[in-house]
Structure 1
Amino acid sequence: MRINDQITLADWELSEQFTRASGPGGQNVNKVSTAVELRFEAERSPNLTDPIKRRLKRLAGRRWTLEGAIVIFVQDTRSQARNREIARERLAELILKAVEKPKFRVKTKPTRGSVKRRLVAKKVRGDVKKLRGKVEE
């Protein structure tokens, strides 16, 4: 499976298991295994670098197993082939998101002038609200 120019997943890294799906399908739902469970051995993959694996683990969340595999379960359509395509697309999207290196954020401090303006605005607003009370005679 080809993700981009640098990353191609081997057949041994992916395994699919088909089960009966809930949802649309009528009586067919009880007979045909249309849901797909795609399992990708991410931790053992030689095509992914360690930083990509760390980001992938964070992005995958609870889909990441203790063995270091990503499990994607799809039962969106009545078609087994379409569910299989959707699962592979979702895996590819997840890996592409992990490949993107996040921007390094430089922490900045507000200027003294902006802090002063904010505090003055807060004081003015508070004074306006104080004037809304009942008038004492």
Structure 2
Amino acid sequence: MKNSIAIDFDEFVNTFNEKGKETAIILAREKYNLSFQQLKRRMFNSTDYCFDRSLRLYKHRDNNNMDNAEFMSIDELENKKTTIKGVEPLPGPNLNLSFDDLVKDLIKDRLLILNKYVTIDNESKQLIINTKKLKYDGFGLNII
């Protein structure tokens, strides 16, 4: 069974880091009768090695940084305001708008959508609805 093969992952990592990928491919094929991808997958599943893309080398994961990390309390998070240089807030409604202003903006958006289908003629006192456009856009019309 291929899963029962004892693999020396340290040797594989040292070969890859010092001699290159081609030599590691040959090692995987000749010594373990596995492809490079198979051996790499087993290494990720059973060891703490990871690939550092910036260095293009395998190394042990930094679990110490995660264990020693200091977390901020909720009060510190609420009181601390972080700003990123060069980043402007997204355009849109101001964060200090009241709820009523937000509701008004939502109603305006709905009226703009309705304006595509419905027009009011004040002279003849008629409501004109474009049913073809309504049906084409997937809406239905109920007349009460």
TM-score, normalized by length of structure 1? 0.34
Q: Which has the larger radius of gyration?
A: 2
TM-score, normalized by length of structure 2? 0.33
